[in-house]
């Protein structure tokens, strides 16, 4: 099973996104690819078709109640949301989301039977391997230690270095291979788990050919390139060809 996760971020207005939803309905035709669309929260209700799975870009740390402006796990789940992004670097950096918030969000997602998609990655371009490994190890263990054993296998990990997001820059294939290997090794050695590990950061219809050659990757998160239906279709088809 490969994952293709589309993170639309805070893009598009109602008319445009209505058309977008119609255009992406016929992309997915392979049960070996889990095709997940994460629209902006106000438009989740427009994505109720069965040809894709629905993800939320965020979830509240709170349950239903007096929390002005929040979108709770129970509410998202009632809109057919099956996946939730947590720990994205844009939320860590721009909204000061710390690890305790991330842990609370993961718990809320589980409680409403949604799968958390957890983002990790080094923040700067420093390619110093031991430094990057230390960061990844900490980001993984802080979270997994807080998740009850029987729920751990539902976690999906995304390796997404901050400097690769929306910049057109990607790590080299050998850097990605090294990082993904390291992440999988830690998860296996420490927790005896084999979780899906995905790559995200400037994935597009051109570099996907190269990126899919990193065999141990379980899929991709696509931001900017998922906004264009035809680019997204190409990415899907290329992944499909390579399965
Ligand atoms: P990008 O975003 O594909 O535009 O780099 C990916 C992400 O931030 O999830």
Residue 12 sits at the vertex; the CA angle it makes with 6 and 13, to the nearest 5 degrees, is 140
Q: pLDDT-based confidence at 128, cuts 50/70/90? A: confident
pTM of this structure: 0.97
The string of pLDDT tens digits covering residues 5-64 is 999 999 999 999 999 999 999 999 999 999 999 999 999 999 999 999 999 999 999 999
Q: What is the mean pLDDT of residues 66-87?
A: 98
**Annotated active-site positions, please?**
88, 160
Ligand 1 centroid–CA 223 distance in Å is 4
Largest CA distance in the chain: 49
Three-state DSSP state, 121: coil
Determine the atom of ligand 1 nearest the C-alpha atom of 222.
3
The string of pLDDT tens digits covering residues 191-200 is 999 999 999 9
Long-range contacts, stretch 77-80, CB < 8 angstroms, 24+ apart: 77/112, 77/113, 77/114, 79/44, 79/45, 79/48, 79/54, 80/48, 80/54
**Is the predicted pLDDT of residue 144 greater than 70, yes or no?**
yes
pLDDT at 126: 62
The string of pLDDT tens digits covering residues 207-240 is 999 999 999 999 999 999 999 999 999 999 999 9
Determine the atom of ligand 1 nearest the C-alpha atom of 164.
5
Q: What is the mean pLDDT of residues 161-179?
A: 94
Cα-flanking dihedrals φ and ψ of residue 62, to 5°? -105, 165
Helix residue ranges per DSSP H, the chain? 14-24, 73-78, 89-94, 99-111, 129-144, 149-152, 173-191, 208-211, 229-242
Helix residue ranges per DSSP H, 39-98? 73-78, 89-94
Ligand 1 centroid–CA 112 distance in Å is 26
pLDDT at 242: 93
Which protein residue has the closest C-alpha to ligand 1 atom 9?
223
Determine the atom of ligand 1 nearest the C-alpha atom of 165.
5
Which protein residue has the closest C-alpha to ligand 1 atom 2?
223
- The per-residue pLDDT of the chain, averaged, comes to 96
pLDDT at 237: 98
């Amino acid at each position: 099973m490969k994952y293709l996760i589309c993170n639309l971020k805070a893009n598009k207005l109602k008319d445009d996104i209505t058309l977008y939803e119609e255009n992406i309905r016929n992309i997915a035709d392979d049960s070996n690819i889990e095709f997940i669309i994460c629209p902006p929260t106000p438009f989740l209700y427009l994505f109720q078709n069965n040809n894709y799975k629905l993800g939320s870009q965020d979830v509240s740390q709170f349950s239903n109640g007096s929390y002005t402006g929040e979108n709770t796990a129970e509410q998202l789940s009632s809109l057919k949301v099956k996946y939730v992004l947590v720990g994205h670097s844009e939320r860590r950096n721009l909204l000061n989301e710390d690890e305790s918030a991330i842990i609370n969000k993961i718990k809320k997602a589980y409680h409403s039977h949604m799968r958390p998609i957890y983002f990790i990655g080094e923040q700067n371009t420093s390619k110093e391997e031991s430094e990057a490994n230390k960061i990844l190890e900490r980001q993984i263990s802080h979270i997994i230690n807080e998740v009850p054993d029987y729920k751990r296998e539902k976690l999906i990990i995304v390796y997404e270095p901050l400097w690769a997001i929306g910049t057109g820059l990607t790590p080299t294939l050998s850097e990605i291979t090294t990082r993904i290997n390291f992440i999988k090794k830690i998860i296996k050695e420490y927790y005896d788990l084999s979780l899906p590990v995905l790559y995200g950061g400037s994935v597009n219809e051109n570099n996907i050919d190269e990126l899919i050659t990193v065999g141990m990757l379980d899929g991709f998160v696509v931001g900017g390139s998922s906004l264009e239906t035809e680019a997204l279709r190409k990415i899907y088809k290329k992944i499909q060809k390579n399965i």
